[in-house]
Amino acid sequence: MPSTLRGKTIAILGTDGFEQSELIEPKQALEDAGARTQVVSPTGKNIKGWDKKDWGKEVPVDVPLKSADPGQYDALLLPGGVMNPDQLRMNPDAVRCAKQFFEQGKPVAAICHGPWMLVETGAVRGRTVTSWPSLQTDIRNAGGTWVDQEVIVSEGVVTSRKPDDIPAFNREMIELFSKGAAGGGTSERKVA
């Protein structure tokens, strides 16, 4: 894979209960594309993944949430799982951090339940997104358009539904993040 993200630093906002494949695989894809990644979390030195039906691997936390400066990052990745985004959306510091990426016009990628943070920050309004199906009412109630597609790119945000979508999610995330600020404007692409 070409080094399309060389020189870029990507924040990965997570906490215990992230869906293991939805953090580890996109993180590796970003690094393979030349990016530097940093796991940002309100939790200790490590966060523990959820691997389908049980606890999985631990991932080191690079930056404590209270020390994170969104201005130092080029983009944000929001992995899913049920526990991880549910805890983060209830944490005012996590919501404030994610909201700053949108305020600064930086691209964001969210998978599975990760779009809950888009709802919480108000960033889903006016965007077309996909997610795990149980979020569709939350997304619609927050002013977004929900669709059942493998991957959607809308106004600087890429979203996908589930672990099976990770290859398409990674491809579109890397393309979006390589474009930089706002992902190239207000275009919307439904990717099959």
Residues labelled catalytic: 112-113
DSSP conformation class of 181: G
Q: At 110, is the secondary structure helix, strand, or coil?
A: strand
Specify the DSSP element, H or E, that contains 171: helix 166-179
Specify the DSSP element, H or E, that contains 174: helix 166-179
Q: How many C-beta neighbours within 10 Å does residue 38 have?
A: 17
Cβ atoms of 12 and 73 closer than 8 Å: no
Q: What CA–CA distance (Å, rounded) separates 142 from 25?
A: 29
Specify the DSSP element, H or E, that contains 30: helix 20-32
Widest distance between CA atoms in the chain: 40
Question: Could you give the angle at the alpha carbon of 32 between the alpha carbons of 30 and 38, nearest 5°?
Answer: 45
